[in-house]
Amino acid sequence: MVHRRKTFNPLEPSSAPRWYVVRSMHGTVLESRRMAPGTDLKRVFVTTMLAWMDAGWQIGEFSSVTATFFCDRPPERRMVSIDPAHPDDVPMGAARLGGCHDCGD
């Protein structure tokens, strides 16, 4: 019998904190907030999508596999996600891919 590893689900409750993060399409963090361990992440994901829709944004692509959705209200576009790490700890965008900003490497 082949044992398969359980598929990671980013919306399953966790004993670790998670972060609600809104980014511009350039990767700039516009908003973030820590969510307590044990938060119902599926509920947060769905209610957040509805809140953005109620605010006049059009939901585009979304994925519960990555806990991310994109929304538009021309000319703006946002990426909203539930992340397992603080947004400052995760390199995002082309500006952070160019090496160490402190030492020039």
The answer to whether residue 32 is domain-embedded is yes
Q: Cα(39)–Cα(13) distance, rounded to whole angstroms? A: 6
Q: Cα(94)–Cα(28) distance, rounded to whole angstroms? A: 10
The answer to whether residue 2 is domain-embedded is no
Peptide bond into 10 cis (omega under 30): no
Q: What is the pLDDT of the chain when averaged over all its residues?
A: 85
The answer to whether residue 44 is domain-embedded is yes
The one-character DSSP state at 93 is: S
Residue 91 has pLDDT above 70, yes or no: no
The answer to whether residue 11 is domain-embedded is no
The answer to whether residue 65 is domain-embedded is yes
The reply to whether the predicted model has a pTM over 0.85 is: no
Given this model, what pLDDT does residue 94 score? 42
Q: What percent of the chain has pLDDT over 70?
A: 80
- Per the structure, the count of domains in the chain is 1
Structure tokens at 51: 């809140």
Per-residue pLDDT reduced to its tens digit, 27-77: 999 999 999 999 999 999 999 999 999 999 999 999 989 999 999 999 999
Q: Which residues constitute the domain of residue 28?
A: 18-85
